[in-house]
Structure 1
């Protein structure tokens, strides 16, 4: 199972929409995919149609709690099956308490990795939607992941936080997860009509070269609407620019191994 974390400590960069669209895109390519909502706000859970995440039980907090207390986990405990062919480990506000508990837990950075090891034989991919912070849950996700993808909004201030995130990834790679690779930086909410958007993209491409993915996700009201209508982007924006961009992004993700060979050393080295 290849585990991909989508991480950015800045909120509002399209991370959750990207996580869902990538998972469904991979499913459309015949892959078995587990989505993991690693954010106590439960935005991914709500996006996929479970509008009252706080009423769900068990959730990610439940299974991580069992690992922390050394209790057995039943196979597929808490996993929900979505109509678009992906599975979801949901999250709700209880995950906030889990993050507090992790502070005093032995091997606290590896709890999520331990959970994923119990389901890895059943999936080709696990997609982790991280919370917008660099707290213990995000560290858990980076420790569990093979690859991190960083969605960055094509505006100046969101792009400024990129360096801090890369330093965190580098520290996790050095101390906790030597196999962690940066799969790429994904430009989101791109408005190619504005000088600001084009300028930010150019700066990031100059700074990070081949690590910036070719795919760019355009700003579109169609992407914003999917959270209200609980439809995936490939249905809601069929033949549209955003659906096409996410199809391209999905193909890039599936080819990440070849990209790493082509572009040389990882950013975290």
Structure 2
């Protein structure tokens, strides 16, 4: 099956992209940020979209389900101080409320990830209904938030399947570089399988183009190619390469607190507005 075929199989079903808006608003919209290709700005997008949604007055829960735990450290949580993390929620049936921590940004909470999560893929193998562990956990807390943002691992294993099964929609970051679409058919095929077997209402929230270097023609070619495939699912906001955006995680801050006047803060605020629909 070609990339075009897979794209069409995922995207031609209008019902897959329809939600009861009132229901989503009432219960909280769950968005998985996913791309199994590493280095595409997935965690940067998860953290900064969450922070900017909170800055717009939304109540947001960021769920770090990537064993690397970069969203956790990137939002300023010291992993050594974490009592319960998403591993405990998935494996030990800890109430997600007990694993939820505040951040320095008002309205933004996080369920962190620690190194324990690295063993979760194997530990979940013999577990009954392993694909719906996260879905059941988030049902306990999602009505407390306007948005739940899940930072998925850069893989298509059971943790990502859990995330897609639990979510209303998927936001896909794609970098504006050569081979940007490499492996994308695998992700879209996984989405199609989850739609078919586990979550028929799963939709593609949108595609966000990242790491644009405006000095090169290559970035513009990638934008054109992605828009040809995804059409109106591509956000108007494009995330450029930005030094301050790259620096922020090492300081444990989202870009809107690290440098609120930077280009990075501006574009992620614009993206958050697009997601909200304002």
Q: One fold, TM greater than 0.5?
A: yes
User: Which residue in 2 is equivalent to 1:9?
Assistant: 36
User: Which residue in 2 is equivalent to 1:129?
Assistant: 151
Counterpart CA distance in 2 for 1:96 and 1:235 is: 30
User: Which residue in 1 is equivalent to 2:179?
Assistant: 157
User: Which residue in 2 is equivalent to 1:266?
Assistant: none
User: Which residue in 2 is equivalent to 1:66?
Assistant: 92
Offset, 1:74: 4.2
Offset, 1:31: 1.1
User: Which residue in 1 is equivalent to 2:214?
Assistant: 192
Offset, 1:105: 1.1
Offset, 1:57: 2.2
Counterpart CA distance in 2 for 1:74 and 1:88 is: 14
Where structure 1 has 5 or more consecutive residues not aligned to the other structure, the ranges are 68-72, 257-269
Would you say 1:50 and 2:77 are equivalent positions? Answer: yes
Deviations 1:24-56 (A, max 9, x none): 1111121111110001111111101224x2552
User: Which residue in 1 is equivalent to 2:271?
Assistant: 249
CA change 1:74–1:185 in 2 (3 A) is: closer
Where structure 2 has 5 or more consecutive residues not aligned to the other structure, the ranges are 1-27
Q: Which stretches of structure 1, 4 residues or longer, exceed 6 Å deviation after superposition?
A: none
Counterpart CA distance in 2 for 1:160 and 1:97 is: 27
Q: What pairs up with 1:137-148 in 2 under 5 angstroms?
A: 137-148=159-170
How many pairs does the alignment contain? 250
Is the 1:54–1:93 contact (alpha carbons within 8 Å) kept by the matching residues of 2?
Answer: no
User: Which residue in 1 is equivalent to 2:12?
Assistant: none
Counterpart CA distance in 1 for 2:203 and 2:230 is: 14
User: What RMSD over aligned residues (CA atoms) do the two structures have, in Å?
Assistant: 1.5
User: Which residue in 2 is equivalent to 1:264?
Assistant: none
Counterpart CA distance in 1 for 2:158 and 2:80 is: 21
CA change 1:129–1:75 in 2 (3 A) is: closer
Offset, 1:152: 0.7
Offset, 1:238: 2.5
Using the size of structure 1 for normalisation, the TM-score is 0.89
Would you say 1:76 and 2:102 are equivalent positions? Answer: no
User: Which residue in 1 is equivalent to 2:61?
Assistant: 34
Offset, 1:164: 1.7
Where 2:99 maps in the other structure, the secondary structure is coil
